[in-house]
Structure 1
Amino acid sequence: MNKSIPIKEILVEDGAVKSIAHVMEKVGVGHSKVMVVCDDNTYKAAGSCVISQLKDGGFDATECVLERDGMLVPDEGALGEILIKMQKDVKFLVAVGSGTINDLVRFISFKTDRPYGIVATAPSMDGYASSVSPLIFKGFKRTYPAVYPVFIIGDVDIISRAPYDMVTAGFGDILGKYTSLADWYISSLVADEAYSEDIASLVKISIEKCVKASRGIVNRDKKAVKELMEALVTSGIAMLQFGNSRPASGAEHHLSHYLEMKEISSGVERHFHGTKVGVMSAIVSAIYHYIFSLAPDEVERLMSNRASQTREEYELRIKSTYGAMADEVLRDLNNFYLDEGKRRQRQDKIRDNWERMKKWVEENVPSGAHIRGILREISAPEMPDEIGVNRQLLGDALLNAKEVRQRYTILRLAEDIGLSTEKILEAVLKH
């Protein structure tokens, strides 16, 4: 692992959880009061062992177990429960879990100025090393500033026994980097966003590690699971080094976040975030290859015929789509993409960089069919209908998910050149 990062200890190996007391001492925690945060599932997987190991190591360890009938949601209720259960003299937090637990504890750590470490229970997402927390606030999923962990422990014995859909979710999260890197690259050319080739290379390493491990994942081969976990941590390190999630999150994540908000508001059964990311990365890849198959004169024709949207039309769409969350969406975006002067500037850059972007996509973004093939190899969902997304919902997401963030993606580029959602949906379903 890269030792220049601020995380003091990263330990991914068999039996790593037994070293937690030693790791705590090594990173300078001291024998202060510790609160271990987990849910009822992660308590059984590793939480009880963590508490036992800490107590045997001389730590005053208390616990906060978030018990839920269904999946734990990272919302105001969960945050409040942790704060209520946290005693005033707690000096350090230990998160035991994966995505949701880590996001909750990371945010609490940031807000209360108490450092934390994470003991992973599944290789299910790439946020272990990041410094942001995707949380649900008033039903709207957005990313909040947080803080990186002091240490990351991934006990391969534990994570290799995680539910298989959590393992494939982590795999899907990494495959999403194919398209998130593409979004980052085109944004650097079209929207003048800062871009780092060194950090992009780090993300590419995580993709290579993940794909390399694919054949062993199905059999829960420990070496393959270790490779996957290291890929997830590497991706998180890239975000940490850049300062936000841009290197590892693009349109495929926006689509996933949008679907998650719809699921939460309707109360339907949810799939893991990384599972959606994997499926949506194939969708976004198909969009990339369709758009960059267009001839420059066709792009020019689309731009010339593009109809502007009035503020009233735009706000009506947002309000009808996002309901009670609409005001927050409108406030965050601040009508940024309604500015036709800025759009014309982006269109000029699209023209100027068309062949350069096309070449980059051809060399770096595998086809949607190829991504689906990789997912199929590990018996993970590959098609939208496998995660409960029908044609209507997919079209709805393609139209509205770009409003989740102001970030420039291929969905914004499609909007800039004047491609309709119907045309994009038709092209996606053919690929």
Structure 2
Amino acid sequence: MSTAVPPSARAAGGARPSPADPLRAFASPATWLGAAHLLLDAFIGAATCFLLLAGLFWSVLLLPFALLGVPVWLLTAWVGAGLGAIERARYRLLLGVVIDPQPMPPAHRNPLRYAGVLLRDPGVQRRTAHQVLAAPLGMLTSGIVYGLLAFGATLLVLPVAVLMSGNPDAHLFGIPLASGTVRGLLAGLGLILLLVTPAVVRALVALDVAVARALLGPVPGALAARVGELERSRARVVDSVEAERRRIERDLHDGTQQHLVSLAMTLGRAKARYRTEPDGIGDLLDEAHQQAKDAVVELRGLIRGLHPPVLSDRGLDAALPALAARCPVPVDLTVDVPVRPAPAVEAIGYFVVSEALTNVAKHAGAARATVTVVESDRTLWITVTDDGRGGADPARGTGLRGLADRVSGVDGQLSVDSPVGGPTVLTVELPGRPL
């Protein structure tokens, strides 16, 4: 989305004059700022185009050599993003036009996958197109403005220059300049060229800004698509919360409640027997004691499934080792979270690991799993890898789809790389802490 600078900010650069007043238009700061912007187009466009094409050339050339072209492409894409930021700053400072940026795709721990993400990203593609077009478009706009100013000024001062030179046989493009009438006509033509320059500058600036808005600004429909996806994921989260509520209700009814009912009945039998046989209630008390312990164990398991107390008290560093220890598959765990994330993000991270390890134990047929949880640059990265049979697909399983919904609920991202035959790599990116 592109916006104009507020009127108070535009006032610093001078009010835009009416096209019907060519003298004021020529003297207006807006005209000369626009002309300066267009004259810079050739130099900045050539430098930008050269850097981009050089990066693309070396990316392709080095790709067969142990994929050395991949880091070159990643660097080229990020340099292109920086050049785009410089261009937007130039539009803002010289023209008073603010162009909101299209964010780069979030970084990925796998360089090959991230290179593919950048290649497919419409924002990167449009920014690359702008930087390729920058050289020819800049040459065109700069050439027109420079030609009008230079040729118009030359013709306007030509009579004075001829008189000062004292050369009656002077010629310009084969036209003799000895006649005062000819010199007057040429000076009038120069004046006309200078007076039409502001209108031409305005038209070229409008063209330049339209191209920049289309290629340097946000991708059309990207925000609407993101909002639509968030609305759909929110609806799925609401459905999953309702399903979770029904599961908890069922577990309490079929498990804990039955234990407590059985305990109450056992205690009632013990109470009745105590009246007639006080010494014969030992076995009933032992049975009641065991039933109470079973109910406590089940309640603890249910509470742990909802939100383990150790997670609230001590964070992921303390909660995940217990989770890994309960997994039937051996787990290599690495947790490096120096700053605790927000409670909601921390809970989602815990359940991502819990669900991922459950899937590994139930479906992967793996001999070993690796879990890495690190916090870097306000981002919580979770990677779960197993050496199982692979073939996991979020589109076919409700477990992974539910995880994706949970993650998207806090504006995170989940990706699964699971070729048939393995290994399976689940990567989750979460906002680590509030900004």
TM-score (norm 2): 0.25
Q: Which has the higher contact order (CA 8 A, sep 6+)?
A: 1
Structure with more helix by fraction = 2
TM-score (norm 1): 0.25
